[in-house]
């Protein structure tokens, strides 16, 4: 059984804290509290570790991210970080945008949906853990758009970051892409992206953030 993490209780009660609606009835997390509670209960019946990363619940196995829960305006998403490698016999996994190569999600809009798929979810989680233990890797294809490969890979690992990035204005997106693409070394590009995750999640542009300093 998974040990309860009090940070997840706080997330379900008040939200992720990345916007002005935190702990208010306008918070999108509060809209889907029952669905999130039921999904959490399913995950508590696994052997995964319950954590909070990037403001949302993440379930890990031996330090590797397996599942991420997110609340959007119109649904709750249950995401597998390497979902593209799952066999998906029930055909319930979705690609969240054309540039997402690795992650796959299940969308939920009711508690009944969660209950009806509870056994299937557990089977998919078992397969996801087995895939992680096998060392299987996702082969990333080059993206024709001027988006750094390192950013695309992080989007695959963090669907919530992808949502936040593409919610920015085109100008703000371009500012980040230019900033992330400048270093020649991949690790330097990754470092720049990681330093800006919180800013993107907060809806800030790269240049706006630096004007505040």
Q: Which pLDDT tens digit goes with each residue over 69-85?
A: 999 889 999 999 999 99
Pick the CATH number of 6-134 from 3.40.190, 3.40.50, 3.90.1150, 3.30.300: 3.90.1150
Phi (first) and psi of residue 59, to 5 degrees: -110, 125
Which among 43, 99, 97, 34 is positioned nearest to 68, based on CA atoms?
43
Q: Which residue spans of the chain are classified as CATH 3.90.1150?
A: 6-134
Q: What is the pLDDT of residues 88-141, one digit of tens each?
A: 999 999 987 666 788 899 999 999 999 999 999 999 999 999 999 999 998 876
**Least confident interval from 20-24, 32-36, 122-126:** 20-24
The mean predicted confidence, pLDDT, of the chain is 89
Q: What is the pTM of this model?
A: 0.71
Q: Are 14 and 21 in contact (CB under 8 A)?
A: no
Q: Are 84 and 104 in contact (CB under 8 A)?
A: yes
- For residue 192, pLDDT beyond 90: yes
């Amino acid at each position: 059984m998974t040990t309860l993490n009090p940070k997840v209780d706080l997330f379900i009660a008040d939200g992720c804290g990345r916007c002005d609606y935190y702990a208010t009835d306008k918070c999108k997390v509060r809209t889907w509290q029952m669905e999130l509670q039921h999904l959490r209960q399913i995950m508590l019946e696994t052997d995964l570790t319950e954590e909070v990363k990037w403001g949302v619940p993440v379930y890990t196995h031996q330090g590797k991210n397996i599942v991420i829960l997110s609340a959007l305006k119109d649904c709750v998403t249950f995401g597998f970080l390497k979902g593209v490698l799952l066999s998906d016999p029930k055909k319930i996994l979705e690609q969240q945008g054309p540039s997402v190569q690795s992650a796959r999600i299940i969308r939920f809009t009711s508690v009944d949906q969660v209950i009806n798929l509870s056994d299937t979810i557990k089977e998919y989680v078992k397969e996801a853990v087995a895939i992680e233990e096998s060392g299987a890797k996702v082969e990333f294809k080059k993206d024709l758009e001027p988006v750094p490969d390192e950013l695309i890979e992080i989007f695959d690992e963090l669907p919530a970051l992808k949502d936040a990035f593409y919610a920015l204005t085109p100008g703000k997106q371009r500012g980040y892409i230019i900033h992330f693409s400048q270093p020649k070394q991949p690790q330097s590009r990754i470092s720049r992206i990681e330093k800006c995750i919180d800013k993107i999640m907060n809806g800030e542009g790269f240049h706006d953030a630096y004007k505040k300093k």
